[in-house]
Structure 1
Amino acid sequence: MTDQVSPTSTEADNIATVEKFLFSLRGPDLDTAGELIDENIVYQNVGFPTIRGRQRTLKVFKALDRPSFAFDVAIHRTAGDGAVVLNERTDVLAFGPVRLQFWVCGVFEVHDGRITLWRDYFDQFDFAKAMIRGLAGAVIPALRPTL
């Protein structure tokens, strides 16, 4: 049996910041999201170009802020170590009736209550399967994934 270690208050605050940020993207509540990220944030979806800065990061999400798009997230596990927060989660990207649902591992660094690094890792094959299932679910609703 392993000992459970409770996070320090700083780690708990950093975890809360990351969770509040991810959940604000659901709305989307981009004002709250913007308040939680640093002016010089580094945002990386591994395998894609790195985005630097609050305005550029928010621009990505503003471009997706339309009635035909939705984002959802289910966080499965979270761990904190000082400024670093790690989480395993399921992200959902919905484009009209097409719903992509896939596993993501996120790495965040939080300093002074703001996220300075956001790096997501996901399996490209898992993402491709999500696309196929999402397209099939658009035609046959019973196949549409749910959280």
Structure 2
Amino acid sequence: MTAETVVRELLDHLAAGEVDEAVDLLDVEVVWRNTMVPDLRGPQVAKALRDMVARGIGFEVVHHHVATDGDVVLTDRTDVLSYGRWRSEFKVRGTFEVRDGKVVVWDDAFSWAEGIGSGVVGLVKSILPR
């Protein structure tokens, strides 16, 4: 399986709520970095992903561009987080390092201002009558 396939499958499994299948694509020592958030390592990553699903937090991904250079995959995408009627959409640039068919580094960068702004809009939309 190519590095790009591993990354696409990881994100697609998460979007489908298939967290166990997604976790199977992570190295046991994986490092997950997010802008201005402490790194998660190894089992912490699987726990965080399982907690999202258990709490009913939905995830969608829209791929805009994906580029691969050997074992490094760069993604330009829109992530969507949801909970009930609330939705927040924001652009993410991800850098993934894949080794032996497993993600060893997952480094996402995004604008907190965009994420918070989208979250506020989502909150307003979720409480307004349809």
TM-score (norm 1): 0.83
Which amino acid in the other structure matches residue 21 of structure 2?
A: T
- Where structure 1 has 5 or more consecutive residues not aligned to the other structure, the ranges are 1-9, 143-147
- Distance (Å, rounded) in 2 between the aligned partners of 1:141 and 1:22: 32
Q: Which runs of 5+ in 2 are unaligned?
A: none
Structure 1 partner of 2:9: 20
Of 28, 32, 37, the residue aligned with 1:48 is 37
Report matched runs for 1:56-135 at 5 Å.
Answer: 56-66=44-54, 68-135=56-123
Cα separation, 1, equivalents of 2:97 and 2:67: 12
Which of the two has greater strand per residue?
2
RMSD: 1.5
Normalising by structure 2, report the TM-score. Answer: 0.93
What is the CA–CA distance in structure 2 between the aligned matches of 1:141 and 1:77, rounded to whole Å?
A: 36
Residue in 1 that maps onto 2:128: 140
The separation in 2 between residues aligned to 1:70 and 1:128, in whole angstroms, is: 17
- Aligned-pair identity (%): 33
Contact 2:19 2:53 in 1 (8 A): no
Please give the alpha-carbon distance, in whole angstroms, between the structure 2 residues aligned to 1:111 and 1:49. 23
